Amino acid sequence: MSNAALRLKNLAEQLLGAPLPVRLRAWDGSEAGPPGGPVLVVRNRRALRRLLWKPGELGLARAWVAGDLDVEGDLYDALDRMAGLIWERPEDETRSLVEALKEPRVRAAVRQLFRLAGPFPPPAPPGEEMRRHGRLHRHTKGSDRRAISHHYDVGNDFYELVLGTSMVYSCAYWDSPDGTLEDAQRDKLELVCRKLGLAPGQRLLDVGCGWGSMAIHAAREYGVSVVGITLSQEQAAYARKRVAEEGLTDRVEIRVQDYRDVRDGPFDAISSIGMAEHVGSARYLEYAEVLYGLLKPGGRLLNHQIGRRPQKDESTYEVDEFIDAYVFPDGELAPVGTTTGLLERAGFEVRDLEAIREHYALTLRRWVANLESDWAVAVQLTSPGRARIWRLYMAACALSFERNKIGVNQILAVKTPVSGEPGMPLRARTWN
């Protein structure tokens, strides 16, 4: 029997220029690589064809989603071991494929991989991949609606399984790693409401309202009237049902609406929790200006948003291929300094910034545990490929937060009146 695993290991190490950090098992049952720890399973030759056809993250993603690649053992451990070779290579060590192929050893390894992979071309991409035609029309109202539908309209029952009873799809706020997800999500909603200084009789706009949790909490606990907007039909239907069950239809309105189409301001406060990542860098100033225009003088915006670390050369920044194709199409992350600068250009006064990246790592690990504990049900509720996507992206993101590759920030910004009297407390974080 041929030892495909040993051949793969040797070729991979030639291409990477470093020892393979995980053990390999190939389609012929052979194994090679360091013993102990997780095992990267290459189930068939199709995995190689996908990787050779689209080298890098997209090829790996297609093989993973299709089930051609798998991990046995601790997924976090496997991703942690491989991060330095694939996802977190230093900027000055990354090279284009064209540059790499100038080296004879790399060309020889690639030729051997082509022979090992078998007949080309590879199969079509998995059905879960977002199909697009160029990037000239990103972040139009239509393209944003399609991107949001791709991510969120995959079944409310599936999201209930992953998110738990809180149905909040953003970073929770933990007292302790031993706390419950539901308590931590409630505490996050409470934190947002206090930062916004909500009081009975006020109007709140919840941008990207999801399944209605923030809108319901604010109306029930603080007596405000809420307009929640989302581009997801499934989210809106679910949120309206929850609002009715809570007896809050007189105070909460859920709309399927783009934030650019809201015309019934002004509002006393705006919450934007986990939505701004979808806006895009080209549209971000417009987003900030629209929200600024929807607030009353003295009104507050709580912008809860994931941010990335800045690069040495920002002009070379490229979106994550796996996330862009399978998770958040057209989503973009910016450094927090860029975000605060754009909010201030729009007219806001940034009054507070709280960085809570460790909280998101804890949240993601709970979501992964929920998914893994009911894996068979999750597959039935969506598809094997979709369940694999969510497991990989949430586990990888948890590690990225833990390793300070990305963070999450709550930015409190105020539409300060011309008089300069913002109505804010004299002592920071005495919100009301």
* Digit-coded pLDDT (tens) for 16-55: 888 999 999 999 999 999 999 999 999 999 999 999 988 8
Nearest to 309 by CA among 407, 427, 241: 407
C-alpha span between 205 and 54 (Å, rounded): 43
Cβ-proximal residues to 115 (8 Å cutoff; 6+ apart), any chain: none
N- to C-terminal Cα separation, the chain: 72
Q: Could you give the CA distance from residue 270 to residue 294 in angstroms, rounded to a whole number?
A: 8
Distance of alpha carbon 185 from alpha carbon 165, whole angstroms: 10
Reported as type and span, the H/E element at residue 41 is strand 39-42
The catalytic position among 171, 193, 209, 397 is 397
- Can you tell me the distance from the alpha carbon of 327 to that of 148, in angstroms, rounded to the nearest whole number? 10
Helix then strand then coil, % of the chain, to nearest 5: 45, 15, 40
∠ Cα 303 249 276 (to 5°): 15
**Enclosing H/E stretch for 273:** strand 267-273
Rounded alpha-carbon distances, angstroms, from residue 224 to 129, 203, 295, 299: 40, 6, 15, 14
pLDDT of residue 92: 45
Q: For residue 2, what pLDDT is reported?
A: 72
- Torsion of Cα atoms, 417 then 419 then 422 then 423, to 10°: -120
- What's phi and psi for 315, nearest 5 deg? -70, -15
Q: Higher-confidence residue: 108 or 75?
A: 75
* Cα dihedral value 66, 307, 135, 133, nearest 10: 20
Dihedral (CA of 146, 151, 157, 159) sign: negative
- Predicted confidence (pLDDT) per residue in 104-130, tens digit: 777 888 889 999 998 888 889 998 888
pLDDT of residue 100: 60
Rg of the chain (C-alpha set): 23
Establish whether 397 is a catalytic residue. Answer: yes
374-414 pLDDT, tens digit each: 999 999 999 999 999 999 999 999 999 999 999 999 999 99
Residues of the chain with CATH 3.30.1050: 4-117
Count other C-beta atoms under 10 Å from residue 127's C-beta: 11
What is the rounded average pLDDT of the residues 179-204? 98
Q: Are 215 and 226 within 8 A, CB to CB?
A: yes
- Determine whether domain 4-117 maps to CATH 3.30.1050: yes
Which structure tokens are listed for 395?
A: 């586990």
| Residues 228-252: tens digit of each pLDDT | 999 999 999 999 999 999 999 999 9
Pairing of strands 69-72, 31-32: unpaired
Task: Give the lowest-confidence range in 54-58, 97-101, 267-271, 331-335.
Answer: 97-101
Checking if the pLDDT of 90 tops 80, the result is no
Lookup: tokens for 37: 């720890």
Q: What pLDDT score was predicted for residue 108? A: 86
Share of the chain above pLDDT 90, in %: 70
Q: Give the model confidence (pLDDT) of 288-303 as tens digits.
A: 999 999 999 999 999 9
CATH 3.40.50.150 domain position(s) in the chain: 141-414
CA–CA distance, 203 with 205 (Å, rounded to integer): 7
In whole angstroms, give the CA distance from residue 8 to residue 113. Answer: 8
Could you name the CATH architecture of 141-414?
A: 3-Layer(aba) Sandwich (3.40)
